[in-house]
C-alpha cells in the first residue's frame, strides 16, 4: 500500500478527515441515485422534491469543495464554505416541515425569501432527539457553531483572528496562503462538515423514499 502523500494532503491520517473521506463517496452515490430517479419521475415529483433538485446538487458540490480546500490547506476558506453548506441543509429541513414556504422561496428574489436561522434550527428533529437522549442542548451548541461561521463569512474581528499563524518566534501573523500545520482547525472543519453531510444524506433518504427502499432491498 502506498504511503499517504502529506505534501499534497497535509492532514491525512487525522481521524475526522478519515471519517469525512469515508462519507463523501456515500453522499455522491446517494446524490446520483436521486438524480437518476428524478429523470424518470419528473412529472410526478412533489413541490418539495422539485425544490431539492435545485438545492441538493449545490450542497454536494460545496461538500466536495470543502474537501479540496482541506487538501490544499485552505482551512479558513473551508470554514466559509461550511456556512453555505449549513444553510442549504437547514433550508431543506424547513421546507420538509413547512412545504408552504417553498412557493415564496421560488418566487422571491434576494435573501429575504429564506427562513430565519432560528426557524431553521428548530426544524432539525435530530438535534432535539439528541438533546433529550444525551441531556445536551444541541440547538444551543449548533447555534454556537453557526455564529462562529457567521463571523468568518462577514468582516468580523473574531472571525478574522481565526486566519492566523503562530510563528516559531511566537509571533501571531495573518495568513494569506495555505495552512499546513493546524491539525486542530482541520479537525474542527471536518467535524462540522460531517454533521451537515450526515443530515443532508438523511434528508435525501426522507424526501426520496423510493431510493431508500431500493437501497434496502
8 found inside a domain? no
Predicted confidence at residue 2, as pLDDT, reads 46
What 8-state DSSP symbol labels residue 56?
A: H
10 found inside a domain? no
Predicted confidence at residue 205, as pLDDT, reads 92
* Rounded Cα distance, 6 and 180, in Å: 9
90 found inside a domain? yes
Predicted confidence at residue 214, as pLDDT, reads 55
Q: Count how many domains the chain has.
A: 1
145 found inside a domain? yes
Predicted confidence at residue 28, as pLDDT, reads 96
* Rounded Cα distance, 95 and 102, in Å: 6
Direct distance between the N- and C-terminal alpha carbons of the chain, in angstroms, rounded to an integer: 34
- From 66, 53, 72, select the one nearest 9 (Cα to Cα): 72
2 found inside a domain? no
pLDDT along the chain (217 residues), means of 10: 63 95 96 91 90 95 97 94 94 92 81 72 74 74 83 83 81 87 94 94 90 56
115 found inside a domain? yes
105 found inside a domain? yes
209 found inside a domain? yes
Domain boundaries, position 67 = 15-216
Looking from the CA of 135 toward its CB, the CA atoms found within 13 Å total: 0
Residue 179 in contact with residue 75, Cβ under 8 Å? yes
pTM: 0.85
Number of Cβ within a 10 Å radius of residue 70: 26
Amino acid at each position: 500500500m502506498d504511503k499517504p502523500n502529506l505534501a499534497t494532503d497535509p492532514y491525512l491520517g487525522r481521524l475526522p478527515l478519515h471519517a469525512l473521506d469515508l462519507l463523501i463517496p456515500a453522499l455522491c452515490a446517494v446524490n446520483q441515485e436521486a438524480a437518476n430517479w428524478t429523470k424518470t419521475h419528473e412529472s410526478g415529483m412533489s413541490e418539495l422534491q422539485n425544490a431539492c433538485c435545485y438545492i441538493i446538487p449545490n450542497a454536494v458540490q460545496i461538500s466536495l469543495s470543502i474537501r479540496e480546500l482541506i487538501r490544499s490547506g485552505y482551512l479558513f476558506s473551508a470554514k466559509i464554505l461550511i456556512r453555505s453548506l449549513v444553510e442549504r441543509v437547514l433550508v431543506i429541513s424547513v421546507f420538509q416541515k413547512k412545504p408552504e414556504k417553498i412557493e415564496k422561496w421560488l418566487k422571491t428574489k434576494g435573501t429575504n425569501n429564506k427562513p430565519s436561522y432560528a426557524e431553521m434550527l428548530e426544524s432539525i428533529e435530530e438535534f432535539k432527539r439528541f438533546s433529550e437522549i444525551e441531556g445536551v442542548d444541541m440547538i444551543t451548541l449548533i447555534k454556537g457553531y453557526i455564529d462562529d461561521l457567521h463571523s468568518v463569512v462577514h468582516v468580523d474581528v473574531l472571525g478574522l483572528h481565526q486566519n492566523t499563524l503562530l510563528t516559531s518566534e511566537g509571533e501571531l501573523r495573518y495568513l494569506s496562503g495555505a495552512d499546513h500545520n493546524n491539525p486542530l482547525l482541520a479537525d474542527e472543519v471536518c467535524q462540522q462538515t460531517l454533521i451537515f453531510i450526515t443530515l443532508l444524506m438523511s434528508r435525501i433518504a426522507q424526501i426520496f423514499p423510493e431510493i431508500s427502499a431500493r437501497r434496502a432491498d
